[in-house]
Structure 1
Amino acid sequence: GNKEAWNTMVKGYGKMKCDVKCIELFRKMHILGIETDSASLASVISSCSHIGAVLLGKSLHCYVVKTSFDLTTSVVNSLIDLYGKMGDLTVAWRIFSEADKNNVVTWNAMIASYVHCEQSNKAFAMFDRMISEKNFKPSSITLVTVLMA
């Protein structure tokens, strides 16, 4: 099996929100020893987040740590979203603060985590810090997320 084809399929299922298929295909890749890329890993972590597959999501996080997998921004964003939806803001914050590079999506994921856990003050504080200290321009998603706080 061509690893690019497999990774493309995983990402495709993830984009189409076919979360169970995305996870199943990723598992099959792992069993067959086909190397995954960071975009596929981010897709699978997002799929875990969407369907509430907490243990698998945590296992993937362990895999990332144990294998020193390249923590791309997309993997970081997916992990923050996963832990935020699980209500584990401590781990979400640790991942956010230890990330080498944060982008607007990373900030959005952390703000959304606070909103999801009904911590409006922290969401507003993150938004304020994002625009004042870090000079990030909020996206439309940022604004909608903050309005939900």
Structure 2
Amino acid sequence: MANKSMQIFCDMMASDIQPDATVMVKILGACSELGVLQLTSCLHSYVIRGGFISNSFIGASVIDCYAKCGSLDEAIKVFERSTDKDVVIWSSMFAGYGIHGQARESIKLFHRMVTDSTVCPNKVTFLSILAACSHAGFVEEGIEFFNIMLNEYQLMPESKHYAIIVDLLARIGELDKAMCLINQMQSRVGVHVWG
């Protein structure tokens, strides 16, 4: 599907049809699925030339694309150059660090966001942080962020959040606690929780 999307995009460009922001987000998503760094770089250049870089969803997609194509350094550069960092941009960078197993950097960036900006984390932010903790095996930190999500930000977790917490509890052999959590939340959780 990603190859087909890229072909349609190339056909659009050859026909002098200019893509809009929605098309750019979709094509960057297709590019991240393909994992071709050179293509990401070309699309990033097009985003800049086309004046799309100020769109936070496109900026976040560029960050995500670089991270998924193996260039965390380029993802960081795009993030740092973003002039209007909203929750979408921040969350994308947290996820990028997580993809590369750099949960500590993701956690440090979270603290930077809450202390140096006016951006308030949302459920996607916490999902990105929890995933980073899970990939790195940071059990205590993951549980701490889950509690911060609940207690400090009063955000109700969704099944994906619970799935990560169940995974973290299982990693430390707390299967009884994991099952208890699943049973308590049975009406609100989906199949993600059962891993």
Normalised-by-shorter TM-score class: 0.7 to 0.9
Please identify, of 137-146 and 119-128, the stretch whose mean Cα deviation from structure 2 is larger: 137-146
Runs of 4+ in 1 over 4 A off after TM superposition: none
Alignment of 1:73-84 (within 5 A): 73-84=56-67
The percentage of counterpart residues that share the same residue type is 27
Larger-Rg structure: 2
Do structure 1's residue 100 and structure 2's residue 83 form an aligned pair?
Answer: yes
Whether the 8 Å contact between 2:36 and 2:69 is mirrored in structure 1 is no
Structure 2 match to 1:69: 51
Q: Which amino acid aligns with 2:85?
A: N
Q: Distance in 2 between matches of 1:135 and 1:100?
A: 14
Alignment match of 2:2 (pick from 16, 19, 32): 19
Structure 2 match to 1:12: none
| RMSD between aligned residues | 1.7
Corresponding residue SS for 2:104: helix
Structure 2 match to 1:109: 92
Structure 1 match to 2:114: 131
Gapped regions of structure 1 (runs ≥ 5): 1-17
Alignment match of 1:91 (pick from 65, 69, 74): 74
Q: Distance in 1 between matches of 2:117 and 2:71?
A: 24
Corresponding residue SS for 2:13: helix
Gapped regions of structure 2 (runs ≥ 5): 134-195
Alignment match of 1:120 (pick from 83, 103, 122): 103
Structure 2 match to 1:51: 34
C-alpha deviation, 1:62, in angstroms = 2.4
Whether the 8 Å contact between 2:37 and 2:70 is mirrored in structure 1 is no
Q: TM-score, normalised by structure 2?
A: 0.61
Q: Which amino acid aligns with 1:45?
A: L
Count of aligned pairs: 131
Q: Which amino acid aligns with 1:90?
A: D
Please identify, of 88-97 and 47-56, the stretch whose mean Cα deviation from structure 2 is larger: 47-56
Q: TM-score, normalised by structure 1?
A: 0.79
Q: Distance in 1 between matches of 2:8 and 2:50?
A: 22
Which structure has more RCO (C-alpha within 8 Å, separation ≥ 6)?
1
Structure 2 match to 1:13: none
